[in-house]
Amino acid sequence: MQITTLQNDFTSGEVDPKLRARSDLEQYRSALATAKNITVQPQGGAKRRPGSRYIASLPSDASQAVRMVAFEYSVDTSYMLVFTPGKMHVFKDGALITNINGSGNDYLAVAAITSSIIPTMTWTQQYDTLIVVHEDLEPVKIFRGGNDSTWTASTLTLTNVPYYDYDHIDLYPKSTITPSDTTGTITITASAYTGDTGSLQAATTTTMTLKAAAGSTDDIFVGLCIVMTSGAQDGKARKIVDYNGTTKVATIYPAWETAPVASDNYKVVPYAEESVNQYINAVPFGRARIVKFLTDTTVQVYTKVPFPNTDPIVSGDHSAECFYEPVWSATRGWPRSVAFYQGRLYFGGSKGRPSTIWGSRVGQYFDFNPGESLADDSVEATADTGQLNSINDLYPGRALQIFTTGGEFYAPQPGDDPITPQNFFLKLQTENGSRQGIRVVNVEGGTIFVQRQGKALQEFIYADTQAAFTSARISLLSSHLLKSPSEMAVRAATSTDEGDRLLIVNDDDGTIVCYTLLRSQKVIAASEWQTDGDFLSIGVDIDDIYVVVKRTLPDTSVNYYVEIFDEALFVDCAKNATVGSSTSGVSGLSFIEGKTVKVIRDGVVGADKTVASGAITFDRNAEEFYQVGLDYTITIKTLPAAPRLQQGSIRSMRKRVYDITADLFETQNLTIQGRNVAFRQFGEDVLDSAVVGYTGIKKIECLLGYDREGAITITQNQPLKATVLGIEYKLSVG
């Protein structure tokens, strides 16, 4: 029996080997068993992936950690920032910027960004400023100055940092307090209290022995503040949580970093500067947050729950809700994620409060003052669902989207009203969980993220019919290509010949998974990119795709290179040039010393050369241009033949592919089933000129050999153009 089969596109890309038997799927007709070193075009064809050009070498500490961050300064000016431990390298238009700040160095020193920070740090940018955060890093601000080589890094200064009662306790001061009003911003005055001043007899980090004549009643000073008025801790205060009237020992909280010493002076008073952001509670009701210290006995407060009247509140009927402390500090950790959204700077999660998100005041990005909870004051919300939702990333899209280890949330804005303290909360939508360290990206309105275990690629997108966000698995047919993914970037389509390219770096084997995405045409096509080495990091600067590659030379030295993909190149780690005059060779190749390289001279592939002393010599001079670099091979292999026949399946039958017709576009070199396809035409002087890219049909006949697969393998033996639009083949069965 003879059967003619047509595969006229490859828009499903490489699919999981476990789908070999699923010939019932519609995607089977456009899928591949192997798609190596190709990109799938939205029209359906499979094209040789772009080669890469060598830009610069990174210091050896790139072996510890490396990360790329795109920085778009203006419409005309953008950069790729490459972080290695303690350093930031700046690239622009495919070249390294040197002599940063006139220092003679080709990097900006950023000592705080260490090897442990880089893999899971997050960042956001606005105008000339990049903000980098990590739960173990006090936020860093990187500022681009007046030109390409002027950059500074400093600690981000925040004001009115939010507070939280990590060690909640209620203390009951033996005093009377009086509110000036029942609601709003008012003052509270403490009276009828027993204070004390003097010199310490002794002190530790957690206890202070007051003067011998201090009060003899137990707990008489509990709930009051002890303020140092001399010594190393002058002006600082702590809360008294216990007092022994016999020994005169006051237990304080929090502990001193360095204990005061005997003879240091002190005073015991109701309030101190440290009282700000603590709470006062009253019986039967009344609750207020201290917003300003006025005197030792008076503070300004904002009422959260109104007081019943302005009568004095006696001892026992009011408490000091203490030990609220900054949510971000060296003790409690720093923000895990960051984003700008609708006039606010948002921090998502921290080491101490991993599930909480905070937003700054409107238009005042570094001020987190909750004020009186007016519309433009700071906001705060927590992702509470009964499980840990540690926030990994924020995305400012159609709504503020929050990606956590336990699920995907968003901040609802009914009627597109702005976020305010009164309407800010987080709503759970899906429960996949995201992977820390892999930034989410946006493709055609959907937010793409890697699932927590790194086994799937998900799309978080708003569904108008459901008035909610939903999640769909992008990698449903190709999850086998995700092998411990570590980074992800997207390059938007730059022409009708491309879809959006979603690029994911795999830690396990140093490959890149490239997804071509075009939702309108239902194109989700995965392919795998390999190189002579390991891809470590990836970043996209508008339309330029940068990579960091680990390459080992024949002398066993391990090197880390920044390279950029270029559609005009057919080799990796390349050096290329347009020559102004006849050129006999290339120097400056020490970065691939000892490697065997491919040479493309004026469009003609020459003999392989081995780099010696950083140079090679051409067999024939280059008159117009050349490319020199490392080879990579493409492989396009179809799934087992499974035509739909009325008489049933032929899957188990032995079969022979005896005739293959390939529809090609501007192709210069190709092999099908191991046989070379002829492209060069006979004629005068043709052997010294480039092969003209062929568009049309090429046919391979008289193929031999039976098997049970009926699969077709297409590859190349020379690094030149290749685009396969579709294939038609004939099977002999039985």
Q: What is the 3-state secondary structure of 543-568?
A: CEEEEEEEEECCCCCEEEEEEEEECC
The counts of H helices and E strands in the chain are 0, 62
- 389 in a structural domain: no
- In this structure, the answer to whether residues 614 and 680 fall within a common structural domain is no
- In this structure, the answer to whether residues 614 and 682 fall within a common structural domain is no
Contact 577, 61 (CB under 8 A): no
Enumerate residues 6+ apart whose C-beta is below 8 A from 693. Answer: 666, 667, 668, 721
For the chain, 734 residues long, the average pLDDT of each consecutive 10-residue run is: 89 95 91 97 95 97 97 95 98 97 96 97 96 98 96 96 88 93 95 87 96 94 95 94 96 92 95 92 94 95 94 94 89 96 97 96 96 93 91 95 97 92 96 96 94 95 90 94 97 84 96 92 93 98 96 97 97 95 95 97 95 96 96 96 79 86 96 91 65 93 84 96 95 83
- 294 in a structural domain: yes
- In this structure, the answer to whether residues 586 and 720 fall within a common structural domain is no
* Backbone φ and ψ of 416, nearest 5°: 60, 25
- 496 in a structural domain: no
Query: Of 619, 635, 527, 531, which is closest to residue 574 (Cα–Cα)?
Result: 531
333: left (phi over 0), alpha (psi -120 to 50) or beta: left
Query: Of 676, 678, 673, 668, which is closest to residue 719 (Cα–Cα)?
Result: 668
* Cβ atoms < 10 Å from Cβ of 151: 23
Q: In this predicted structure, what is the pLDDT of residue 471? A: 93
Q: Is 60 helix (H, G, I), strand (E, B) or coil?
A: helix
- In this structure, the answer to whether residues 577 and 657 fall within a common structural domain is no
Choose one of 261, 294, 326: the last residue of a domain: 326
- 314 in a structural domain: yes
Which structure tokens are listed for 577?
């040039």
- In this structure, the answer to whether residues 189 and 322 fall within a common structural domain is yes
Pairing of strands 335-341, 713-715: unpaired
How far apart, in Å, are the Cα atoms of 540 and each of 511, 519, 549, 567, 574?
A: 17, 21, 15, 15, 19
- 251 in a structural domain: yes
Q: For the whole model, what pTM was predicted?
A: 0.90
Choose one of 273, 305, 326: the last residue of a domain: 326
- In this structure, the answer to whether residues 601 and 727 fall within a common structural domain is no
Q: Is 101 helix (H, G, I), strand (E, B) or coil?
A: helix
Dist. CA 583–CA 626, nearest whole Å: 9
- 542 in a structural domain: no
- In this structure, the answer to whether residues 201 and 318 fall within a common structural domain is yes
Choose one of 273, 303, 326: the last residue of a domain: 326
DSSP type of residue 406 = S
- 718 in a structural domain: yes
Contact 34, 498 (CB under 8 A): no
Dist. CA 439–CA 68, nearest whole Å: 11
Looking at the 3D structure of the chain, how many domains does it have? 3
DSSP type of residue 640 = P
Query: Of 42, 38, 34, which is closest to residue 16 (Cα–Cα)?
Result: 34
Count of CA atoms in the C-beta half-sphere (13 A) of 25 = 15
Q: What single-letter amino acid sits at 730? A: K
Domain hosting 598: range is 572-630
Dist. CA 433–CA 435, nearest whole Å: 7
Q: Is 269 helix (H, G, I), strand (E, B) or coil?
A: strand
Which structure tokens are listed for 203?
């002190």
- In this structure, the answer to whether residues 175 and 260 fall within a common structural domain is yes
Which structure tokens are listed for 647?
């008489």
DSSP type of residue 80 = E
- In this structure, the answer to whether residues 244 and 304 fall within a common structural domain is yes
- 458 in a structural domain: no
- In this structure, the answer to whether residues 169 and 318 fall within a common structural domain is yes
Provide the H-helix boundaries in 504-663: none
Query: Is 262 exposed, middle or buried (CB count within 10 Å of its CB: 0-12, 13-18, 19+)?
Result: exposed
* Cβ atoms < 10 Å from Cβ of 74: 9
- In this structure, the answer to whether residues 618 and 728 fall within a common structural domain is no
Contact 331, 190 (CB under 8 A): no
- In this structure, the answer to whether residues 239 and 304 fall within a common structural domain is yes
Dist. CA 380–CA 368, nearest whole Å: 10
Query: Is 168 exposed, middle or buried (CB count within 10 Å of its CB: 0-12, 13-18, 19+)?
Result: exposed
Query: Is 652 exposed, middle or buried (CB count within 10 Å of its CB: 0-12, 13-18, 19+)?
Result: exposed
Q: Is 636 helix (H, G, I), strand (E, B) or coil?
A: strand
